């Protein structure tokens, strides 16, 4: 693909075209467009469903999963509430 060079225009930077695109008439720009995007996102059915289920998942995690994991970790340590726990392995179970 050979491009013919005009001797009057030897600088390729000056041989460019400027293209300006404008949003369609009536389209919102700036903060209004962001607000519309957030509103459209939260109006989807699956997002609304997850918003209703989220408190149950958080409650399960905080009040069930984390205490189970903490008790499992502490079962392999020697700890008396006044000193830092130290790992003793399976000695608690022998």
Tens digits of residue pLDDT in 46-90:
888 888 999 999 999 999 999 999 999 999 999 888 999 999 999
For residue 8, pLDDT over 90 is answered with no
76/89 Cα distance (integer angstroms): 5
For residue 1, pLDDT over 60 is answered with no
Higher pLDDT: 48 or 5? It is: 48
Residues 6+ apart with CB under 8 A from 48: 42
Say if CB 65 and CB 76 are below 8 A apart. no
Nearest one of 34, 31, 37, 33 to 23, comparing CA atoms: 33
pLDDT tens sequence across 17-51 = 667 777 677 777 788 888 888 888 888 888 888 88
pLDDT number for residue 67: 97
pLDDT number for residue 7: 58
């Amino acid at each position: 693909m050979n491009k013919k060079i005009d001797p009057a225009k030897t600088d390729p930077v000056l041989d460019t075209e400027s293209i300006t695109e404008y949003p369609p008439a009536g389209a919102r720009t700036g903060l209004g467009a962001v607000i519309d995007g957030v509103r459209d996102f939260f109006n989807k059915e699956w997002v609304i469903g997850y918003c209703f289920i989220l408190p149950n998942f958080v409650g399960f995690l905080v009040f069930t999963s984390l205490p189970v994991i903490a008790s499992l970790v502490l079962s392999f340590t020697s700890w008396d509430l006044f000193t830092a726990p130290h790992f003793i392995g399976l000695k608690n179970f022998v």
